[in-house]
Structure 1
Amino acid sequence: MSGTALALVLAGAFCHAVWNIVAKKAGGGAAFVFLFGVVSVVAAAPVAAWTWTRLPQHFDATMWCAAAGSGLIHVLYSLALQKAYREADFAVVYPVARGTGPMLSVVVAILLLGEAPSLVGGVSVGAILAGVFVSAGGAGLWRGGAQKRHLGALWGAATGAFIAAYTVLDGWAIKTLGMVPILFYAVGLAVRTLLLAPFALRRIDDLRREWRTRRAAILAVGLLSPTAYSLVLFAVQRAPVSYVAPVREISMLVGTFIGASLLREEMKPSQIAGAAIMLAGVVGLAWA
């Protein structure tokens, strides 16, 4: 993986960890998802327009389907994530979601996209996934007597499945269809907003109340979320999806330490150990 690709992914991982912490503190539902989606569309539109003047691209039917499919999966991902944050601790949901996503992404990228990681790359990917598993609590996640933790793991895994789905679809669109990342992402953002609009606009009072009470969080998530993923899409142009997906999970390290402080959640030794294992895997991928 090139230094440029690694820098893009790490910057995106930092933005991702921060917006997830903000979203956890907000604890919003569908109205929250719709409003931060609107902010994302407004922020991305001028950037996409400027990009199109520099790199105009004609969308054929396959490209439109890919962008629409990505938008739909992102909606389901956002709703599942907010549900998970309402049901369980960030320290459980975030690592499980971020671990399940790349694990499935790597498998699908190898099987469907024909990617073949080198030995060092494969070992490094394994280290990152092992680190995520350890940070999440390892086998302890499935022991009895902790219904809230089990629920968080379940919703986290469901969220991770959506992460894997959009990661592979978006990687295919960028690498195989040759779509310009920011244009592809902007169309996907618009699709998400349109899909949620009929449900959100039926409850205008809820939207107004959500905006009044969570305005700062809506703006933060609405700006940081597209920034984080746009950086990842640019990285996919420069490196295999099977490398990019696991390196994104360095956000787990950032989220573990920042989240423990801001959310006042206990930081366990397993989380620190898992973060160290992930960091070793990221260093390995930098040399792969």
Structure 2
Amino acid sequence: MEKNSSCCCGAVPAMWWWLLTLLGLTLLFFLMTWTRQEAVETDLTTRSTAALKAAGMDWATVNLDKRGRDVQLTGMATSVQERDAALKIVDGVYGVRDVQSRLQTSPTLQEQTAVLAPIAAVASAPVAEQKPVVTAEPSIPEQKPAVIAEPVPSPEQQAVLNCQQQLNDAMTGKTVLFETNKSAIKRDSLALLDSLAVIISDCKTVIAGRGIQVSGHTDNVGNDVYNQTLSKQRADAVKDYLVKKGVDGTLLKSAGFGESQPIASNATEAERSQNRRITFEINPE
């Protein structure tokens, strides 16, 4: 009696079964990875939004759609300072890898008034009837005040301004991070310092004779003397790292100011994080 073979197993070679299995595993891995990324994006969106709301910046919108751990911020800030503060807050959220700014700044009420007031005054002023005036005395032309032009910076001064702007742009929305109550630089901040080292080295000729002051600042938590010492140690650590990266040490001077020069109130953690900072300023002549 003739034996019947399976209609499927016998017809499909073993190689195709292996290929189908591999395809299924690949699809399963993709689904698991996509689900994991979606969960991370949801978590970072929630925590970043909460941090902004706690600082009174609910005008900023957090977007991580298909971005992994890279956050995009959109919204209208009332000032450049408020825009930079929002970027720093989100950059400090644990798990965020990079913050991309799509933030805009709107003119303040004072600026709008300064622009619109002259227009409103002209529009509302009555038109006086013009009558001919006969006089025997010669008329004297109206003397208009001379317009004093803004002084034009010299080529050397402009070069210094350009280098300082490069440093400012590199630091916008970013800060050098340290271990808590220590001067050890966190690994996440090394790429930022590497980019600053390149800028300083490229501007070496411009900076020579002036130098750059690396300044450390803290919040108001803790003892004044301790904060002063810690800020100086952190500035020294940044200077030492830049020198290791090839920056001429004679161009750098470190200083610590502790809590004496805050740029924000210390009422909330978000504001205190703004005051914990390192700044880079090219010294004047």
TM bin, normalised by shorter chain, reads: under 0.3
Query: Which structure dedicates a bigger proportion of its chain to helix?
Result: 1
TM-score (norm 2): 0.22
User: Which of the two has greater strand per residue?
Assistant: 2
Work out which of the two has the higher radius of gyration on C-alpha atoms and give 1 or 2. 2
TM-score, structure 1 normalization: 0.22
Higher RCO (C-alpha 8 Å, min separation 6): 1
